[in-house]
Amino acid sequence: MLSLSRVVNHPLFNFIFFMGIRQVTKRLPLEDPTYLWSLRTLYLVCQFIAVGMNYWLIWKVNKKNDTTPLRYVEPAQQQWDGTESEEKLVSTTFKEYDVAEIKKVIKQAFTGIAMIGFLHFQFKFVQPLIIQSIMVFKTFFTSKEARIHIWNESTASGPLRRPFKADSPFGFMPGGKQPKTDKASIKKAEKAMKAE
């Protein structure tokens, strides 16, 4: 049986949803200045509500206070000059990990606001204001953290097992390098830390 989160997170659903919203927005009077100011206000209100919901989710995680230890090896990251950083051993708790992941989402939200603002004011794109006003809530309620702390989905296995696997931007292929949780990788990272 398919779960709602799998259907809503599927790339095909996102494509159909986007195309449907696009057709609806074609019928709206987007050139009308009063309508435009209403859209701008709607967009900003939706974005700040979503940021507020993420802070509420942090509060919920802190209240749960899950101090289960979590150890993993963070993969090497490619630097701007083409070199790779060292793999890093991370020792944390589920609570700290979840809060850090939610803070990444908040940071991405502000980056998204800046990008949409640039597209809107520089190139006069209006449709992204409407689409992102809706998508921000879909993104929040289908995020891994919301699925764990709001919908109480299992974290024992699958995509909600911590540390989370890096998602690909379009959802078709696994994204880049993944965190390692096997004992051999953790021991190797411990030895590398002791050698420094």
Element (H, E) at 14: helix 11-26
- Structure letter (DSSP) for residue 169: T
Q: What is the β-pairing status of strands 88-93 and 69-74?
A: antiparallel
27-68 pLDDT, tens digit each: 888 778 888 899 999 999 999 999 999 999 999 999 999 999
pLDDT value of position 3: 66
Global confidence as pTM? 0.86
- Ranges of the chain whose pLDDT falls below 70: 1-5, 168-176, 196
pLDDT value of position 4: 66
pLDDT value of position 1: 45
pLDDT value of position 149: 95
User: Alpha carbon of 10 to those of 3, 15, 17, 23, 70: distances in Å?
Assistant: 11, 9, 11, 20, 29
Residue 143: how many other CB atoms lie within 10 Å: 19
pLDDT value of position 168: 63
Please answer whether residues 155 and 163 qualify as being in contact, where contact means their C-beta atoms are separated by less than 8 angstroms.
no
Distance between CA atoms of residues 22 and 15, nearest Å: 11
Please answer whether residues 160 and 5 qualify as being in contact, where contact means their C-beta atoms are separated by less than 8 angstroms.
no
Q: Residue 97: which of 149, 170, 158, 150 has the closest Cα?
A: 149
pLDDT value of position 40: 93
Please answer whether residues 69 and 93 qualify as being in contact, where contact means their C-beta atoms are separated by less than 8 angstroms.
yes
Please answer whether residues 3 and 160 qualify as being in contact, where contact means their C-beta atoms are separated by less than 8 angstroms.
no
pLDDT value of position 82: 76
